[in-house]
Amino acid sequence: MYFFDRLTNTQAYKNLLADTRDKNFITAFGVQPSEKPFIAANVLGFSLYVTSDYVEAQRVLRTVGALSENTVFIPVKDDVLLYKKSNSKNSVYQRNAALYSLLHGAECAVTTVEALMQFLPVKEQFLNDCFTLKCGGHYDTAQVVKKLVRCGFRRVEGISAEGEFVLRGDILEIMMPFGKRFRVDFFDDLAESIKSVGETVSDVQSVEVYPLYDTSGFPVKKLSDVQKLVNRLKVSPDAKTRLQSILDDIALSSDEVADTVWLTPFLQSSRLADYFPCDTVVFWDEPKLLNNRVDFLYNEHNQRVANLTRAGEILPAHFASLADRNTLFQLDFPQISLQTLPYDTPFFRPQAIHNFKTGAVANYASSEDALARDIKNWRQIGYEVVIFAGSDGVRPVSDKLAQQGVYVKQAEKLTPNLADGLILPIGVEKGFVSHTNKLAVIGTRDIGRGLSRQTLHKAKKQAFLSVEKGDYVVHDIHGIGLCEGIQKITSPTGEVKDYIVVMYRHGDRLYVPVDASDMLSRYSGGENPPLSKIGGEDFAKVKNKVKSGIKEMSVNLLKLYAEREKARGFRYHIDSYLEEEFQQYFPYKATEDQLRCQQEITKDLTSDRIMDRVLVGDVGYGKTEVAMRAAFDVVSNGYQVAVLVPTTILAEQHYKTFLQRMKPFDIRVECLNRFRTAEQQKAIVKAVADGKVDIVIGTHRLLSKDVDFYRLGLLVLDEEQRFGVEHKEKIKALKTSVDVLTLSATPIPRTLHMALSGIRDISTITTPPVERMAVETFVVEENDALICDVITRELARGGQVYCVYNRVQSIDSFAHRLSQLVPQAKIIVAHGQMEENVLEDAVFAFSEGKGNVLVCTTIIENGIDIPNANTLIVCDADRLGLSQLYQLRGRVGRSNRLAYAYFMYRQDKILNDDAYKRLSSITEYSELGSGFKIAMKDLEIRGAGNILGREQHGHMMKVGYEMYARLLKEAVAELRGEKQERTFTTDLEIDIEAYAPDDYISVQSERMDFYQQLASCKAVEDVEKTRSQLQEIYGAVPRQVDNLLKIAKLKLLAHNAKVCKVSVKPGRGEITFVERDAMFNKKVFDALAESGDRVSASSSGYSIVFASTDYLQKSRLLQAIEDFLVKLQ
């Protein structure tokens, strides 16, 4: 690549690269941090780049990854000492995928020095266990299954998570990490086809399988050797009991081989360096920092081993869980120390030293003039310029430079011709100036294009919650019941069908034919709802009451919407140049969702209709940035903005954010809450009235009588549902005259969004920031040593800890116990029974860093955003609901630091199945996990309640969310005067074998999924898609399933033709229309005329009769009815 040729066309670069051929220890100083990744990406062969911490590693990775396609990141193991009953596999999968790439042609790897200290599976074993299944290859499926199990995959009946596989007859299905699902179709021993299964199904030539285990494995029969060490250990009886419980649990939870890092000291292992190819060059990024980090990690490790051994969590042998300090930097590869300043390299004596004379690039974010001027100056002295503008920056940056008389060549990739300068759509963040090369490199952040967020390739999946055995369900007519699963029933004529059995009050049971399962939906609302009485009378009364409540709410909403439509507000003018300048100060690239929401708000502001929009998105998803952009537009037009929040803490957080963001534009931001003195408040109130304050942020203090605005244009409401009734009335009065943007941190269901379309303006942000790291999650038994260890580690890295203890009566004594366990901890207690001001003061003190451990109840579920708090401990986690666990975990991981969540349960407690499943599912990162879907659905229901109010939330509980959403949609359509189609169901009386045989779909939950998918088909094309999917997954469709698909198709055709009943008996069939107009029309008459005397209109009712000896075979009769109905479409 010519660019790299130019970069290396100096003696310093040439000498550096030449020295790697015959010297092992080289120092390069005078290197700008932004230049270091360029050097690593330019080395021939494999380059390993080692940084001191994760943040720096990610910065380097973004640059190297933009320059070199085959680059991997190797994450560290989260903890090499503690035994966890259950933990997330995310880092294991990511690390093993990187190891596989190292062994199969990666060009560059980025990692932290901590990864070099840790042990990995034996390289030879890892390499031997990797295998590839190729289309057209011959394989013994029994051996493939053994290989998969050896790799750490779990054989299951139905795939629900990564690392699982299913073998059904000749079809093998594998779920690889990161949602990659493959299906291999065998014909005898021939892999006839391999498909990638996702949103779409596509053919692939091969699937590469690599191990998912964390260690090389320890034979369970050899645990007796570890037992001997435990027996000889001189510790307290409690410590020995704890050690014994760990060994017992390992033995019970493992088959023949145990895969747990707790056994690392007793295992054969390899180091990361063992995986590197022979042509590796190692780059040490600032060796002094690396050496300091290593010293800290070893000291911490030694201290932890001593403490945890005394507590019975580990053995003295665990000192060897990390590599020997003396051998850490002894690598048999050329090593280059990259340093900005000259100093002695701590861990080697250099054989060659090189001085790179590079300078930093100025920050041009706020001035294209300065960039244009510098480019002109560089060109005059013979410098060449390369600008990395990111994926969407090439055109705007080129245009602005052109306005200044500076022209640069636009290109998709680096080219040899740099004479006129080059601007590229590549996301390199920071640049440098190489004076010896006469080369200036400008990065995206240098020109204010923000940190380029990667594109989310993962398709947004619909969280389809299928009904499973044991679920509460809602039947359209009979109401809420308990699903008992699928049961086969034989008709009097000997035909077999599947029925879904639902139990109602008094033990009554309803048998729902699978072709009518569209009348069933999973109940979402609350836990353990009361069962309805079978028959439908009770449920009909409940539905009518709910519908009445919905109608009343809808009338009020529609009335308010109509009033706002009539009212005329100020039509804001958007200065595009000023707006773009403001957006360039945002340190990240806005997500597509943020930009869409911004456009929707801008459209409101530039119309003369008063805005009343709800902006929905989780904390940290970027709602505040969207709100600030709207506020900036309003202030730019000479109007004021009020930001109203429910708590003092939120007011302070918003104040700091708005202040920092608005500072470059001379916009005055003030905060009005009880943290300001009476004198300060008086001065702020006067300044607001005089128009000297542009944006004021505050609690309900903003609603006081003494607060008068000079020219209020926009009210931003954060979490409106958390205000009291009195405050809501004042807010309601304000809403009639100013534009309003309401922020909500709880997601809402998409169906609610659609149902409210036209009476409530809602914008949603569903895309999380890509740079946010996954939270490492563990389920562990609670003990003092573990709590002490977890807190000490977080405090050692300067962080803060949430410790959730949900028992108010004993929370103070628990906090006292913690203070004795961790004397250096500054503990603050917070719970909901405190006075409001006292509670706010406590949480605010924690957010300001006056405490580093917050012992609290579940009040931190929402409304608190503290980026420095990155460890969460939840005591008695088995007592909490799944959605609570998910929301609590969401409190950490809000920065670019690795976050940890420990869900603990008491040692003496035996977990029931539900509690164990709840705690296990919280460790799943995959959105495929049903736990994730259920938790998100529960949160969405809560969000729906926030939008609609407490009374409507109560209605939702009575009928379940799905039914509520349907009733709401009908009510809104009716009020808006939209023509309502008559609702009816199409009943089928077809005595024919139609079900999925057990030997075709063996897992009942999968059969249920199939039945519900089929019942939810809206068009004939959907039925055919379902048929194709069945063939792809389970193979050729048997006769019974083919009948079921035909019936589903027939039902759709009948419903579209307004047929409410289809009856099929030997030799005679009948279809009945729902009303006269449906039958007496030209299409029906034409179809009758074409059908001859075998089909005729009934003399009574609105029916068509099919009668002929030709129809003695049911298959022929069904086909005749289908053909007739097709003509009516």
**Confidence band (pLDDT; 50, 70, 90) for 457?**
very low
The kind and range of the H/E element at 786 are helix 784-796
Looking at residue 386, its amino acid is V
CATH number, domain 131-209: 3.30.2060.10
Residue 118 tokens, joined: 């840790």
Return the ∠ at Cα 301 (arms to 298 and 305), rounded to 5°: 140
Q: Which of 200-214, 450-464, 842-856 has the lowest mean pLDDT?
A: 450-464
- Structural Rg of the chain based on CA atoms: 33
pLDDT over threshold 70, residue 126? yes
**Where in the chain are the domains?**
8-123+268-355, 131-209, 359-447, 611-764, 775-924
Q: What are phi and psi of 748, to 5 degrees?
A: -120, 155
Q: What is the pLDDT of residue 354?
A: 85
Q: What is the pLDDT of residue 4?
A: 54
CA distance 38 to 50: 14
* Angle, helix 961-975 to helix 537-566, in steps of 10 degrees: 50
Q: Which of 158-172, 223-237, 508-522, 547-561 has the lowest mean pLDDT?
A: 547-561
Q: What is the pLDDT of residue 162?
A: 86
CA nearest neighbour of 722 among 630, 650, 808: 650
- Give CA 52 to chain center in angstroms: 28
Concatenating the DSSP letter of every residue in 104-150 gives TT-SEEEEEHHHHHSEES-HHHHHHH-EEEETT-B--HHHHHHHHHH
What's the whole-number average pLDDT of the chain?
A: 83
* Average pLDDT of the segment spanning 157-168: 85
pLDDT over threshold 50, residue 927? no
What's the burial of 1021, exposed, middle or buried (CB within 10 Å: 0-12/13-18/19+)? exposed
**Confidence band (pLDDT; 50, 70, 90) for 16?**
confident
* Average pLDDT of the segment spanning 949-960: 72
Please give the residue that has the higher pLDDT: either 344 or 118.
118
Q: What is the pLDDT of residue 518?
A: 81
Q: What is the pLDDT of residue 564?
A: 66
* Average pLDDT of the segment spanning 488-504: 85
* Average pLDDT of the segment spanning 515-525: 81
Q: What is the pLDDT of residue 168?
A: 84
Cβ-contact 122, 268 below 8 angstroms: yes
pLDDT over threshold 80, residue 11? no
CA distance 602 to 553: 28
Q: What CATH architecture does domain 8-123+268-355 belong to?
A: 3-Layer(aba) Sandwich (3.40)
Q: What is the pLDDT of residue 462?
A: 36
Residue 1027 three-state SS: helix
**Confidence band (pLDDT; 50, 70, 90) for 943?**
low
Q: Name 14's Cβ contacts closer than 8 Å, sequence gap at least 6.
A: 8
Q: Name 596's Cβ contacts closer than 8 Å, sequence gap at least 6.
A: 763
CA distance 871 to 883: 19
On the question of a common fold for 8-123+268-355 and 611-764, the answer reads: yes
Looking at residue 444, its amino acid is T
**Confidence band (pLDDT; 50, 70, 90) for 72?**
very high
**Distance from the first to the final alpha carbon of the chain:** 62
* Average pLDDT of the segment spanning 650-663: 91
* Angle, helix 913-921 to helix 882-889, in steps of 10 degrees: 30
Q: What percent of the chain has pLDDT over 70?
A: 87
Q: Would you give the DSSP letter of residue 658?
A: H
Q: What is the pLDDT of residue 336?
A: 93
CA distance 631 to 614: 15
Q: Name 635's Cβ contacts closer than 8 Å, sequence gap at least 6.
A: 641, 662, 667, 694, 695
- Per-residue b or e along 470-484, where b marks 16 or more CB atoms closer than 10 Å to that residue's CB: ebbbbbbebbbbbbe
Q: Which of 83-87, 205-209, 213-217, 383-387 has the lowest mean pLDDT?
A: 83-87
Concatenating the DSSP letter of every residue in 371-420 gives HHHHHHHHHHTT-EEEEE--TTTHHHHHHHHHHTT---EE-SS--S--TT
**Confidence band (pLDDT; 50, 70, 90) for 756?**
low
Cβ-contact 514, 507 below 8 angstroms: no
pLDDT over threshold 90, residue 715? yes
CA distance 1020 to 1052: 7
CA distance 900 to 905: 16
- Give CA 682 to chain center in angstroms: 45
**Confidence band (pLDDT; 50, 70, 90) for 771?**
low
pLDDT over threshold 50, residue 174? yes
Q: What is the pLDDT of residue 8?
A: 57
Q: Which of 364-368, 659-663, 715-719, 1013-1017 has the lowest mean pLDDT?
A: 364-368
Q: What is the pLDDT of residue 932?
A: 46
CA nearest neighbour of 242 among 926, 769, 908, 836: 908
* Average pLDDT of the segment spanning 120-133: 95
CATH number, domain 359-447: 3.40.50.11140
Q: Which of 24-33, 103-112, 639-648, 727-736 has the lowest mean pLDDT?
A: 727-736
Residue 969 tokens, joined: 């949609």
CATH class, domain 775-924, is: alpha beta
Range with the largest mean pLDDT of 234-243, 634-643, 995-1004: 634-643
- In tens, the pLDDT along 188-235 reads 899 999 988 876 678 899 999 999 999 988 888 888 889 999 889 888
What's the burial of 256, exposed, middle or buried (CB within 10 Å: 0-12/13-18/19+)? exposed
pLDDT over threshold 90, residue 741? yes
- In tens, the pLDDT along 817-832 reads 999 999 999 999 998 8
**Confidence band (pLDDT; 50, 70, 90) for 148?**
very high
Cβ-contact 334, 407 below 8 angstroms: no
Q: What is the pLDDT of residue 818?
A: 94
Please give the residue that has the higher pLDDT: either 43 or 789.
789
Q: What is the pLDDT of residue 102?
A: 92
- Give CA 90 to chain center in angstroms: 13
**Confidence band (pLDDT; 50, 70, 90) for 458?**
very low
- In tens, the pLDDT along 1045-1072 reads 999 999 999 998 899 999 888 778 899 9
Q: What is the pLDDT of residue 116?
A: 93
The domain defined by 611-764 folds into: Rossmann fold (3.40.50)
CA distance 454 to 62: 10
